[in-house]
Amino acid sequence: MGLISRIREEIKVIKERDPAIHSDMEAFLYPSFKIMIYYRIAHRLYEKKHYFLARWISQKGVRKTGIEIHPGAKIGRGFFIDHGNGVIIGETTIIGDNVTLYQGVTLGGTGKEQGKRHPTVGNNVMISTGAKVLGSFTIGDNSKIGAGSVVLKEVPPNSTVVGVPGRVVKRGNISLPQEEMDQIDLPDPVMEDLAVLQHENEELTNRLLDLERQVRELKRINDAE
């Protein structure tokens, strides 16, 4: 794909996923647009083993946008960073198509691995504000990571993950269109656990009341005899 086609695609993605952008010219000011231009140039240099030049251009992009994408990362089509300040994407990260990240997301390593040490993110994935995905594992296609989650292990496809550490709270999502990939409609595991405890407490209370009624009835029968 040529440079002009890439630019058109970036503008289209930004306008589709951020309703605050009303024109093509506004998209040129968007941090996601700027950093992807820096990234595409730096990545091409990195693949040709011009590592210093690649990092130099990459760091210019960081200073301009507050988004750090290592030039060695591999990013598919339809990639979008909403606002983006504080986003960090490590060297061996692989990102599929139609992925959305929000501000403060880290796709990093744990500091212990060698070689492939950053996540692989599947297609149609949304990673919400402040989420940290750390380690060399895969986030499956069509998955959603909740805001502030810390994900340290594999996520199956079609899953929703929330919490610290992150845990799968929902599976079997259908492939989501981008307009439905929001940060709000996620399960709340704490409230779900509380609801289960409340239900179990009600059942236990009812059983105790039944036992008390049975004891009173037995006592009444014994007294009558």
pLDDT digit string (tens) for 40-81? 999 999 999 999 999 999 999 999 999 999 999 999 988 989
Question: Could you tell me where the DSSP H helices lie in the chain?
Answer: 3-17, 24-27, 31-47, 51-65, 189-224
DSSP 90-131: -TT-EE-SS-EEETT-EEE--S---SS-S-EE-TT-EE-TT-
Nearest 5°: the CA angle 85, 89, 95 is 115
Predicted TM-score (pTM) of the model is 0.72
- Tracing tokens 């989650």 back to the chain, one arrives at 149
Is 185's pLDDT higher than 70? no
The stretch 213-224 carries a mean pLDDT of 78
The number of CA neighbours under 13 Å toward the Cβ of 225 is 5
Using CA of residue 141, residue 16, residue 87, residue 148, what is the dihedral sign? negative
113 vs 68: which has the higher pLDDT? 68
Half-sphere exposure of 110 (CA within 13 A, CB side): 11
CB-CB contact of 126 with 144 (8 Å): yes
Tokens of 195: 């609801």
Residue 74's pLDDT is: 95
Which of 78-92, 173-187, 192-206 is the least confident region?
173-187
Contact 81/31 with Cβ under 8 angstroms?
yes
In this structure, are residues 17 and 178 in contact, taking their beta carbons and an 8 Å threshold?
Answer: yes
pLDDT for 182: 56
Task: Find the length of the chain.
Answer: 225
With tokens 């009600």, the residue in question is 202
Three-class SS state of 34: helix
For the CA atoms of the chain, what is the radius of gyration?
25
Q: What is the pLDDT confidence band of residue 101, given thresholds at 50, 70 and 90? A: very high
Lowest mean pLDDT, pick from 15-29, 153-167, 172-186, 211-225: 172-186
**Using an 8 Å Cβ cutoff, are 143 and 160 in contact?**
yes
DSSP state of 72: T
What is d(CA 66, CA 88) in angstroms, rounded to the nearest whole number? Answer: 9
What pLDDT score was predicted for residue 94? 95
Mean pLDDT of all residues in 157-184: 68
Cβ atoms within 10 Å of 118's Cβ, excluding its own: 26
